[in-house]
Structure 1
């Protein structure tokens, strides 16, 4: 269903009938409230990047190896030195209580049970203290204690830097293992499906302190209202400020060129997320997989010095595997977790299990038994190689505008 045509809510199919991530998305499209569906499914202007994020995976083909003992396969890995049962983390997304009343708390519990990290958004529906408390309950009698939870904190830098510094101190105190600083959204993109449907003005983000509103001139975008506090002056010189403000590893979320990946490496950044914000900010930006290939082509040293993650358009275990083969350490998924959250904690657990099963099946059919064996030779990227730029400038256009007098 097109993001531009939010539905009238209907009953969702039973959870036991769900067998793929696409099923979760379809269920969300027919059962979520119109504003909730339009807010999460929308993307910038003509949705070119949003669609390309997913479709690019279909143009990358496998080159499977056979006659290998694949009776077992291990999907576990490490993400920022923390063990994870999958090369997957729950990417940050705003206001998930719009989907389910437990919001990020249900996501946290499901991620903990499944053994994968969760990245909590600055624009979450609950304070980070409340989300952390939901996974810190005493164990039930006669049941084993839950596994330690790995959680990361996503930061939109506030115009009032003191607020951001306080959030970083809180996240660090609660045990966050890294801070993901979003760098691709100094302003919010034009998301027309979100603008067409009126917002609930009671909607509040407790950590950022922003409230939804409706604008008669520019539409009813939750994103535009909720992002009004974000500091558009954030620049590379602020890496020093971030280092002073937290001892946590720093990951930059929203890298879209090999040049910025190199700058991140040169500034001592611990990790980068190749992401275009799910196609929600600037339409016709490249899908993350093309940026990953651009890094491989022009600056492969980045992959040895910085943990590189891919976030955008991932809907299958095959997609995860392709990203790993081309150098990603792990992947983040945002919308998919939200569609699964439509079924509560149990739905999120099933979503993770589906991806686990698909990834394991892909590994075995490609002839590998653990993720240390992935390499670019297992994929054929010839269909998209012509889209990968070489160097920083345009390959032949040398024109430059004259300086203004």
Structure 2
């Protein structure tokens, strides 16, 4: 009898529950995780928390069912769990907050409704991972709040009986110049995960930027849409560059992918305290005691999922990246005019103004402020690259403000993650709501097409004092390391 068909008793599984000898059960199959746990992209501790136990629920919340089979070697597939035996329940943890029923999708009239439903119905772990940001959430909240300081300057008596939101992004026609910004482990928001985003984007005529850290394999996400439907791909550079090269070979082989968005604002994963508290509670309740690391930064889902990111990736490495793809390269995470100008000089085809939705450096400028800085300090970039933006967008009117200020397209991350809670229908409904809001704002502002959008339609006076001039501080200067004695 082959190992994969052997029946394994629950007692046998329970006898392998240490860090050096770790078996788990997923969907009735027994796996030896001893070798793989230390290199698990999601961190070893979450595996150790289920040592000698059934990890099906925790696994399926994040991953698609077949990923574990393709990841482990055949020798690590121990066999099937003997159904005549029983394992104890999953590790006890502090009680989850009460999860309410989801309101009907047809009652939703804006993007905030999706967020409210997610807050009520997602698990605490999922809600915390999606909604959270760095430290005190200053940049996350500023992204959104700054839109309230930009006023429209409407023009009247324009024929706006018919308006068009159509546009192009990286040469790709779109029904609305928005794109689904990449967020990893989409299954935390619903069982369809990234497949819902793929199907919903195709049904709505917008572009989805697939994350490196998706719950589903890249090819499965692509195949969820019509075979010729366009996508972008978001790339994290792996510390093991050979793995990035292997991934790029797959990306390059699929003609649906039209551009690579390289994330550059997250050389290390930031401190996301709410997310890390969930992880600590899970670890201590598992019975395995303290984590293997004394890293006082913690290791929540976000930090552990991003543990493979290469902090050594630099401007010089763009030449290496270019050797491994002919696709347009867009740098995602520009936070200053100086770096936007550098990206142009390095031959990038586009940039994304972004602070990772407030999940990178807390205190980084709100994205809309950086868009204004580009106009003030390096307006030439708009003539040579496509300039995208994400961060804090919830209303169609805010999307229109960014388009008026020269953005080629607007990315939304969290709202689309929340929409996964309702599957493909949720994604389509969210796009429909945003499109209606953009069309309404266009009519009220006096715009027939987005090609007519212009800075003259907005007043940014309340923000202008926050837009820096030059790359240096206006008056503070770095002091020399040695000090001269002051003589009376």
TM over 0.5: yes
CA distance in structure 1 between the aligned counterparts of 2:292 and 2:208, rounded to whole angstroms: 29
Query: What do the CA deviations read for 1:161-188 (whole angstroms, capped 9, x no partner)?
Result: 1111111111121221000000000001
- Secondary structure in structure 1 of the residue aligned to 2:118: helix
Q: 1:127 to 1:215 in 2, by over 3 A?
A: farther
Gap regions ≥5 residues in structure 2: 1-95, 283-290, 484-488
Say whether 1:41 aligns with 2:131.
yes
In the TM superposition, residue 57 of structure 1 has moved relative to its aligned partner by 0.4
CA distance in structure 2 between the aligned counterparts of 1:214 and 1:303, rounded to whole angstroms: 46
Q: 1:98 to 1:355 in 2, by over 3 A?
A: same
Which residue, 230, 233, 239 being the options, matches 1:153?
233
Higher relative contact order (CA 8 A, sep 6+): 1
Say whether 1:345 aligns with 2:434.
no
Aligned to 1:166: 246
CA distance in structure 1 between the aligned counterparts of 2:465 and 2:222, rounded to whole angstroms: 45
Which residue, 59, 63, 74 being the options, matches 2:164?
74
Q: 1:75 to 1:7 in 2, by over 3 A?
A: farther
- Secondary structure in structure 2 of the residue aligned to 1:291: helix
Say whether 1:271 aligns with 2:271.
no
Aligned to 1:140: none
Q: 1:255 to 1:216 in 2, by over 3 A?
A: closer
Aligned to 2:469: 390
Equivalent residues, number = 380
Q: 1:151 to 1:51 in 2, by over 3 A?
A: same
- For residues 129-140 of structure 1, what are the structure 2 equivalents within 5 Å? 129-136=219-226
In the TM superposition, residue 220 of structure 1 has moved relative to its aligned partner by 4.4
Q: 1:345 to 1:387 in 2, by over 3 A?
A: same
Aligned to 1:238: 317
Q: Is the 8 A contact 1:214 1:221 kept in 2?
A: no
- Secondary structure in structure 2 of the residue aligned to 1:251: strand
Query: What TM-score results when the alignment is normalised by the length of structure 1?
Result: 0.90
In the TM superposition, residue 135 of structure 1 has moved relative to its aligned partner by 1.6
Gap regions ≥5 residues in structure 1: 1-5, 138-147, 202-211
In the TM superposition, residue 216 of structure 1 has moved relative to its aligned partner by 8.5
RMSD (Å), alpha carbons = 2.0
Aligned to 1:115: 205
Q: Is the 8 A contact 1:275 1:310 kept in 2?
A: yes
- Secondary structure in structure 2 of the residue aligned to 1:262: helix
CA distance in structure 1 between the aligned counterparts of 2:187 and 2:316, rounded to whole angstroms: 35
Aligned to 1:27: 117
Query: What do the CA deviations read for 1:375-395 (whole angstroms, capped 9, x no partner)?
Result: 101000000100000001001
In the TM superposition, residue 400 of structure 1 has moved relative to its aligned partner by 2.9
CA distance in structure 2 between the aligned counterparts of 1:253 and 1:213, rounded to whole angstroms: 33
CA distance in structure 2 between the aligned counterparts of 1:8 and 1:303, rounded to whole angstroms: 49
Which residue, 386, 390, 397 being the options, matches 1:318?
397
Query: What do the CA deviations read for 1:190-244 (whole angstroms, capped 9, x no partner)?
Result: 101101113899xxxxxxxxxx999895444111111111110111101101110
- For residues 91-110 of structure 1, what are the structure 2 equivalents within 5 Å? 91-110=181-200
Which residue, 263, 269, 280 being the options, matches 1:182?
263
In the TM superposition, residue 399 of structure 1 has moved relative to its aligned partner by 3.1
CA distance in structure 1 between the aligned counterparts of 2:118 and 2:155, rounded to whole angstroms: 37
Q: Is the 8 A contact 1:197 1:220 kept in 2?
A: no
Q: Is the 8 A contact 2:202 2:226 kept in 1?
A: no
Q: Is the 8 A contact 1:115 1:149 kept in 2?
A: no
Q: 1:360 to 1:285 in 2, by over 3 A?
A: same
Aligned to 2:370: 291
Q: Is the 8 A contact 1:213 1:225 kept in 2?
A: no
